[in-house]
């Protein structure tokens, strides 16, 4: 149901809270069947959805939206089929709702246990990604939550069409359509209303740039789960480039980290090179430059790159601690692990990687780096709900409460205490 002059955000939230009461008691099989119905409707309404998306893309291009945002916005038949397949994958995931800790009988005679339950009503605010509409709706439904979705103005037609497909599936399953509601009015005032409904909405999850996250934190009375922003580092240790095959592995990982999807929040931003690895640096970054990446390098790394005939630009202080979201990366030489750790402690927090053949250095890196995901000898692009076995994600949380890293089904639940007795009173 769209927001109109006669339908305020509070009205949506009231209906969502009512729907959440229905959802929290649904058996797993019924929730899974609802998701399969959504996947079927996405396929059935493909032409309608893609036509709506084409209107959004055309408007975005006319408005001069940056290329990486248009890339996030665009859907085609293959992408829509992938979204539908992801919905079916979520339907097959283990349902965390109802999981219980072992019951304990206390000296008073009461029996206590903790049971996992849905959060309730989620408000998700995001930019330029119509796939998030479906991912979030299906994760919310499977975890027993109702959700209010507020996409950016650039996705208004796409999100409206996706909402209609989801509602058709919910109606067919005799479930309340109000379980998934899209705010179609892009005015910032509507977002402010949502952020302040702490009597109806249980959590706000922003998914976008730093400006969106800051706006939500500064204006919300609803708890905000911050994520999706942060600088991604990869530290190349000298021990990893002693053999030709490992030099090629390093080049492959770095290339994948930066170019597989440069607009993603888990794409590489800063390559830290241990001084012992500097002689092999041209071989490692050559594929990056061949792929069209603009490399902003410090003074120490510029010389060996120039000697190898590779064109890099001098880096400024502003190029470190920057999330590029494009085919740009910064490069800095460090003495070794300790300097890399200090640099990451100052600038990191999202995803940080070490390439090393030294087990002690790997262990130290994993222990010392305080980020949402820490990786050894693998691309940071694996910090993703689907890649980490969660099926899908609402966002990648970079805070510590109440979730950290990719937020899948379990991260959309909380727990309650269940106490059973037989007439006990407290003395």
Question: In terms of domains, do 257 and 353 share one?
Answer: yes
Question: In terms of domains, do 220 and 270 share one?
Answer: no
Residue 389 falls inside a structural domain: no
Domain span including residue 133: 9-225+407-420
Q: How many CB atoms lie within 10 A of CB 329?
A: 29
- Beta strands at 328-334 and 351-355: parallel, antiparallel or unpaired: unpaired
Question: In terms of domains, do 169 and 256 share one?
Answer: no
pLDDT, tens only, 378-426: 999 999 988 998 877 888 998 888 899 999 999 999 999 999 999 999 9
Question: In terms of domains, do 173 and 241 share one?
Answer: no
The Cα 165–Cα 314 span in angstroms is: 50
- Beta strands at 313-314 and 294-297: parallel, antiparallel or unpaired: parallel
Question: In terms of domains, do 83 and 163 share one?
Answer: yes
The Cα 361–Cα 272 span in angstroms is: 15
Residue 2 falls inside a structural domain: no
Q: CATH no. for residue 13?
A: 3.40.605.10
Question: In terms of domains, do 46 and 142 share one?
Answer: yes
Q: Which residue has the higher pLDDT, 348 or 386?
A: 348
What is the enclosing helix (H) or strand (E) of 174?
Answer: none
Would you say 231 and 324 are in contact if contact means Cβ atoms under 8 Å apart? no
Tell me what the pLDDT averaged over the chain comes to: 94
Q: CATH no. for residue 277?
A: 3.40.309.10
Quickly state the pLDDT bin for 7 (edges 50, 70, 90): low
Q: How many domains does the chain have?
A: 2
Residue 394 falls inside a structural domain: no
pLDDT at position 210 over 90: no
């Amino acid at each position: 149901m769209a927001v109109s002059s006669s339908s305020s955000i509070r009205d949506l939230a009231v209906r969502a809270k009512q729907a959440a009461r229905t959802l929290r008691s649904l058996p797993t099989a019924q929730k899974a069947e609802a998701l399969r119905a959504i996947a079927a409707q996405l396929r059935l309404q493909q032409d309608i959805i893609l036509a709506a998306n084409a209107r959004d893309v055309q408007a975005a291009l006319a408005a001069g939206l940056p290329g990486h945002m248009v890339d996030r916005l665009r859907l085609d038949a293959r992408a829509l089929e992938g979204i539908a397949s992801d919905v079916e994958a979520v339907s097959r995931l283990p349902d965390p709702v109802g999981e219980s800790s072992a019951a304990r009988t206390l000296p008073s005679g009461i029996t206590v246990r903790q049971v996992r339950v849905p959060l309730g009503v989620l408000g998700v605010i995001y930019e330029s990604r119509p796939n998030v509409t479906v991912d979030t709706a299906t994760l919310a439904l499977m975890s027993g939550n109702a959700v209010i979705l507020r996409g950016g103005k650039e996705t208004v037609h796409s999100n409206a069409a996706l909402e209609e497909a989801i509602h058709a599936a919910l109606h067919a399953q005799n479930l309340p359509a109000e379980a998934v509601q899209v705010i179609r009015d892009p005015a910032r005032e509507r977002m402010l209303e949502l952020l302040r409904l702490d009597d109806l909405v249980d959590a706000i999850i922003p998914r976008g740039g730093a400006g969106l996250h800051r706006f939500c934190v500064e204006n919300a009375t609803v708890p905000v789960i911050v994520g999706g922003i942060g600088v991604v580092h990869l530290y190349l240790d000298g021990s990893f480039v002693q053999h030709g095959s490992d030099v090629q592995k390093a080049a492959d990982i770095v290339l994948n980290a930066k170019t597989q999807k440069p607009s993603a929040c888990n794409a590489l931003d800063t390559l830290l090179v241990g001084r012992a690895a500097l002689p092999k640096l041209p071989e490692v970054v050559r594929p990056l430059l061949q792929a069209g990446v603009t490399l902003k390098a410090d003074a120490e790394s510029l010389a060996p790159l120039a000697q190898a005939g590779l064109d890099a630009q001098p880096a400024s202080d502003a190029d470190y601690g920057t999330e590029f979201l494009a085919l740009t990366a910064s490069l800095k030489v460090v003495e070794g692990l300790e300097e890399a750790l200090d640099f990451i402690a100052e600038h990191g927090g999202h995803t940080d990687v070490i390439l090393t053949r030294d087990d002690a250095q790997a262990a130290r890196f994993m222990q010392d780096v305080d980020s949402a995901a820490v990786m050894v000898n693998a691309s940071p692009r694996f910090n993703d709900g689907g890649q980490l076995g969660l099926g899908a994600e609402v966002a990648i949380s970079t805070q510590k409460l109440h979730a950290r890293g990719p937020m899948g089904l379990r991260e959309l639940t909380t727990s309650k205490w269940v106490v059973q007795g037989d007439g006990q009173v407290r003395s």
